[in-house]
Structure 1
């Protein structure tokens, strides 16, 4: 009997050491399990959405590179052809600085004017030779994607008469498909123009305008015009045979943005904060839309929950005993 009483006393002491029993433990456990399940579901949803966005980004990057390289190859062929016209017995080509990752590098022009070494760098070209290379690039791009008009401001200023005539002749040939407006002081360019607009100084501080000045006779373009037309036809045929580029309408679309996570909504409810899905989305965008801002807000709400739980679990003030009240009254 004594041993039984001793065992009971030992159990009572152990129960006393455990302290007060939390009568809400089961309810709090169920709430925690539900919240963990919500966090797991939100985590899976976010991982799936991340994988989807990464896949879309990779597809768009591949299509962007495909389109760039297809256009580059075509413009490069046009550049080599046009540069050969502007600089007979010369050669020119375009080159990517970073062929593996073309968007991480620029574009270089390797131009070798007639009579110069193949190792000649672009920085070693004269001003006129650089002008010829730049104009060849403009015409090469025009052959791929023609524009309605072109404005050239004294592009022949640094050119010798031979090259100035080449530029004027090429502009004249291409004027059948586009309008060229050129500011020039070179006679050869003026001779090949259809119309002239002259600006002259009258000596009184004002400018005079001379317009509608037609040429007396149309110039014969001879064999060069026919050769240029043939080259243009070949370029158009090559473009028609190019592989079909991806249709922009078939490109993947980014999914609709996700709303506030369900687990965050449960946290707001426990913190006593009323937040609708639209309000939560607007708040996240206002704070920068970053994970860091979302984490900070979650920590603030967690602190509010801890404080509320501490207040709810605090024992009420004990009522004063009758003897103490009687002594205070005396």
Structure 2
């Protein structure tokens, strides 16, 4: 066994004095106080943080890989979406050219993108040139009827590509002339074999080509009512009368004759005359007549009062006129007297 003992310091080693050693100890204690209390779990916490950092590095690499995959998928979807949009636009553009040529009797139209490279960052423009107009005409320079024809041609072009079960038109032919209105009606009639068209219209050509009619009239109280006994021929005749009001004289004369013919027709149902009060009311009739007399009493009094006020106003007007005439006579006499005095002084 070896005994534990302290080896003596070498002879050449110089030891500090007691005062220097105490000073050094106090310096080290102050330095330790500045560092604060020592965390005895720092080593364990460091190991945990290092392990967490390693796992986060692995997750970061996974996220980078996923991001790369998502970017690739997004680019593929964007490319497919752009290709499908251009494909649909090409088909619709071809249909639009045909539809607009039919509706405008030889006009030209085209659809194009504002930003062909990035179509989803721009809009869709419509160019239409009616027959007989310059090719430099702008869409905003077209008249209201021409814009309506272009819009309807676009609707028909979309229908040819992706048909809908039914279409609802609300007076789309109201601002069109008779020729264009007839073209719209004929095209709707032709396309009604594949879809159902509901049209609100007042034009006779649309009424003539329609299969079914529902008459709607204004009741005068802000509500619309359905005409039960709707007469198609009468509606067409009334439409001809309204459309002929702005036509030349011969058409106007024929419209007046047609209007008289309609008035002579007694087959149409008319509003019946009001029925008299039933006799079963008995004494209530006298009570009703008494109420009518009470209502007429104040009205007759107001009429008499108004007549009296009118007479008073007339009398006051006559008095005022008489006073004005007297004042004017006196002023004339005064002026004549002044002139006579001036002549006397001159003499």
Counterpart Cα distance in 2 of 1:22 and 1:90: 89
Q: In the superposition, relative to structure 1, how do residues 177 and 53 fare at CA in structure 2: closer, same or farther (>3 Å)?
A: same
Aligned to 2:64: 47
Counterpart Cα distance in 2 of 1:31 and 1:58: 41
Aligned to 2:94: 77
Aligned to 2:54: 37
Q: In the superposition, relative to structure 1, how do residues 203 and 98 fare at CA in structure 2: closer, same or farther (>3 Å)?
A: closer
Q: Are residues 1:107 and 2:134 paired?
A: no
Q: In the superposition, relative to structure 1, how do residues 4 and 133 fare at CA in structure 2: closer, same or farther (>3 Å)?
A: same
Equivalent pair of 2:207/2:232 in contact (CA under 8 Å): no
Aligned to 2:152: 135
Between Structure 1 and Structure 2, whose CA radius of gyration is higher?
A: 2
Aligned to 1:253: none
Aligned to 1:306: none
Deviations 1:50-107 (A, max 9, x none): 2232222222222221221111111010000100000122100101111111111111
Counterpart Cα distance in 2 of 1:211 and 1:104: 54
* Structure 2, unpaired ranges of 5+: 1-9, 234-347
2:217 to 181, 190, 200: 200
Aligned to 2:227: 209
Q: Could you say what secondary structure the match of 1:159 adopts? A: coil
Aligned to 1:174: 191
Q: What value does the CA root-mean-square deviation take over the aligned residues?
A: 3.1
Q: Are residues 1:162 and 2:213 paired?
A: no
Equivalent pair of 1:90/1:113 in contact (CA under 8 Å): yes
Q: Are residues 1:191 and 2:208 paired?
A: yes
Aligned to 2:170: 153
Deviations 1:275-309 (A, max 9, x none): xxxxxxxxxxxxxxxxxxxxxxxxxxxxxxxxxxx
* Structure 1, unpaired ranges of 5+: 216-330
In the superposition, the TM-score normalised over structure 1's length comes to 0.58
Offset, 1:131:
0.2
Equivalent pair of 1:152/1:182 in contact (CA under 8 Å): yes
Counterpart Cα distance in 2 of 1:50 and 1:107: 33
Counting only pairs closer than 5 Å after superposition, residues 60-71 of structure 1 correspond to structure 2 as 60-71=77-88
Offset, 1:208:
4.5
Offset, 1:6:
4.7
Offset, 1:22:
6.4
Q: Could you say what secondary structure the match of 2:193 adopts? A: coil
Counterpart Cα distance in 1 of 2:13 and 2:40: 29
Question: How many residues matched?
Answer: 214
Q: In the superposition, relative to structure 1, how do residues 42 and 6 fare at CA in structure 2: closer, same or farther (>3 Å)?
A: farther
